[in-house]
Amino acid sequence: AQSVTQPDIHITVSEGASLELRCNYSYGATPYLFWYVQSPGQGLQLLLKYFSGDTLVQGIKGFEAEFKRSQSSFNLRKPSVHWSDAAEYFCAVGAKQAGTALIFGKGTTLSVSS
Amino acid sequence: EPEVTQTPSHQVTQMGQEVILRCVPISNHLYFYWYRQILGQKVEFLVSFYNNEISEKSEIFDDQFSVERPDGSNFTLKIRSTKLEDSAMYFCAGTTGSTEAFFGQGTRLTVV
């Protein structure tokens, strides 16, 4: 079955500390991988994506993610968290074929403490 | 920067009533989607739409749901007879087919 697992429901990080949000996927085809962020009352904003090539991808707001095929993982990282990063983060997987639906994980809520 | 626009932002409706959720996709997008997110749960795919017809739909998208793009601009989701369990945030998204999906801000539907 195709699925995305985000094992951490809620994470609290101190401002300035590093962050890693975990994502594992199960997908039959070559995966396209995404991280989206959702602030309260807002829509889903794309942080970064992996289609092919370099397995370490850079995104907006200082985020990066590393695709590890052997571990079926696409973990999101940030070296120094800012209070404005507090939000819900969703990992998603899709296929190369145009129009394919995305499969989302349940999300990880990030809280930032001062 | 172009964006996907959804209206209304919040809709309250009585059980059994019909609702129409509206979306204006980005103009060069070709594939359109509706997703929903029940409070506290993950985002779930409902339906995709391409070339004026449904290309894929999930088990959630039963006969109570329909989509259309009546004027080549708006993309709508209709729920014929709403149930309490339809209460959710509904997201519209679009893509050119070779890029990531761009999502709207969502419509929060509350069925009472």
Residue B23 near residue B104 (C-beta atoms within 8 A): yes
Residues of B whose CB is below 8 A from A105? 42
Mean of pLDDT values over B68-93: 94
- 3-state SS class at B4: coil
d(CA B81, CA A36): 32
Question: CB distance B31–A90 less than 8 Å?
Answer: no
Question: CB distance B56–A43 less than 8 Å?
Answer: no
Which of B55, B91, B98 is opposite residue A43, by nearest beta carbon? B91
Q: Residue A68 is encoded by which pair of tokens? A: 């590890």
Q: CA-nearest residue of chain B to A50?
A: B100
| pLDDT over 90, % of chain A | 80
pLDDT band of residue A20 (cuts 50, 70, 90) is very high
Residue A10 near residue A4 (C-beta atoms within 8 A): no
d(CA B73, CA B13): 25
Which of B42, B48, B91 is opposite residue A105, by nearest beta carbon? B42
- Quick one: DSSP state of residue A37? E
More reliable by pLDDT, A52 or A97: A52
The residues, ordered by sequence, that sit 6+ positions from B95 with a Cβ below 8 Å of its Cβ are A98, A99, B29, B30, B31, B33, B101, B102
Checking if the pLDDT of B110 tops 90, the result is yes
- In degrees to the nearest 10, what's the CA dihedral of A5, B58, B85, A44? 50
Mean of pLDDT values over A91-102: 86
Mean of pLDDT values over A53-72: 95
Mean of pLDDT values over A79-102: 91
Question: CB distance A100–B45 less than 8 Å?
Answer: no
Residues of A whose CB is below 8 A from B103? 36, 43-45
Mean of pLDDT values over B39-53: 92
Residues written for chain A: 114
pLDDT of residue A6: 97
pLDDT of residue B71: 82
